[in-house]
Amino acid sequence: MSKSAILSSSIAKKYWMAVTGLFLCLFLVGHLLGNLQLVMKTGEEGRRAFNEYAYFMSHNIFIKVLSYATYISILFHAVDGIMLTLQNKKARPVNYVYNNPSANSSGAARKMAVLGTAILVFIVIHMANFWWKMKYSSEPMPIHTYVVSSTDQTGQSKTDTLYYTHTPSLQPVPTNPMIVVKNGTELYFKDVNVKVGDTYKDLHKIVMSFFGKSINGAPTNQYALFAVILYVLSMAILSFHLMHGFSSAFQSLGLNHKKYTPSIKLFGKIFAIVVPAAFAIIPVLIFLSK
């Protein structure tokens, strides 16, 4: 009894929706803090901060565990949500001829499944835009290199293009035909197979050009304006989903209390506005700064 109850009963399904939904809210906060690196610092400094962050995210075991928890949560939340919605449709085979639901409930609350499905579509597009490119694309990823100017002993100024590396004990590694990149980011001497350092994938450049800002004259996405609009609209949809979802999750978990519920509702509304708005402003700022 207890085993099937905890998996299949209507209340258990609500618990799962709430737990995965709140976990995804935490994920949003983490993801946002990382993304803000794109606009908090500018120039080479911002680029380094973001690429270091991206490297950390893909090489830390703790983050790896969290990321799998996130994938599972999204899948579970989406599948459970769609199942719930289909069951709920079945629970009313004949509809009212005349209905006035806005008299007693908010549109966001009634449209959770449509909003959620739109978010799912966005997540797929978003992962194809960046995550897939970073991990699996057959095109080689751009590598983070930077230019330094210096004056040598004879007083002549010269410029060098260096790999941005994170093996501090080694000398700066210049980009020249002697050095080859293996396994995406590892730098080797061409013929002797000796590793000289690790560099970074330049995800920063991919993001910037995707939203229409050219770095060092690199070509940009010709549909950047369309991309910015799509991302901003998707965040508006997320905002509506959270406007109902955040406080709803607490009710699902059985946390309804005269003392705390008003604050949870208020916090949920603020969260639902601030977090998606902060996400949305990033592509807009990038687009406008070109």
Partner 1 sequence: MASKFINISLKVWRQKNANAKGAIETYKLDHVSTDSSFLEMMDQLNEQLINERKEPIAFDHDCREGICGSCSMYINGRAHGPETGTTTCQLHMRSFKDGDTVYVEPWRAKAFPVIKDLVVDRSAFDRIQQAGGFVSVNTSGRTMDANAIPIPKDDADKAFEAAACIGCGACVATCKNSSAMLFVGAKVSQYALLPQGKVEAKDRVLNMVRQMDEEGFGNCTNTGACEVECPKGISLENIARMNREFLKAALSAE
Q: Which residues bind ligand HEM (CB under 6 A)?
A: 14, 17-18, 21-22, 24-25, 28, 74, 77-78, 81-82, 84-85, 112-113, 116-117, 119-120, 241, 245-246, 248-249, 252
Measure the CA–CA gap between 263 and 38, rounded to whole angstroms: 32
- Please work out the total of residues on this chain that contact partner 1, with binding judged by CB under 8 A: 43
**Which residues, numbered 252-271, are part of the site for partner 1 (CB under 8 A)?**
252-258
Sequence-distant (≥ 6) Cβ neighbours of residue 34 within 8 angstroms: 50, 53, 54, 57
Query: Is residue 9 close enough to count as binding partner 1 by CB under 8 A?
Result: yes
Written in H, E and C, the secondary structure of 252-284 is HCCCCCCCCHHHHHHHHHHHHHHHHHHHHHHHH
The CA R_g of the chain, rounded to the nearest whole Å, is 24
Q: Which is nearer to partner 1, 99 or 154 (CB)?
A: 99
Choose the contact partner of 77 out of ligand HEM, partner 1, none; CB within 5 to 8 A by kind. ligand HEM
How many whole angstroms separate alpha carbon 20 and alpha carbon 14? 10
**Is residue 110 at the binding interface for partner 1, with CB under 8 A as the rule?**
yes
Question: Which of partner 1, ligand HEM, none does 289 bind, CB closer than 5 to 8 A by kind?
Answer: none
Q: What are the b/e assignments for 49-63, b being 16+ CB within 10 Å?
A: bbbbbbbebeeeeee
Under rule CB under 8 A, residue 105 binds partner 1: yes
**Per rule CB under 8 A, is residue 167 in the interface with partner 1?**
no
Q: Which of 219, 208, 238 is nearest to 37 (CA)?
A: 208
Paired residues of 199 in beta bridges: 165
- Rounded Cα–Cα distance for residues 40 and 98 (Å): 52
Residue 144 binding partner 1, by CB under 8 A:
no
From partner 1, ligand HEM, none, which one binds at residue 87 (CB under 5 to 8 Å depending on kind)?
A: partner 1
Q: Which residues bind partner 1 (CB under 8 A)?
A: 1-2, 5-6, 9-15, 84, 87-88, 90-101, 103-106, 109-110, 112, 244, 248, 251-258
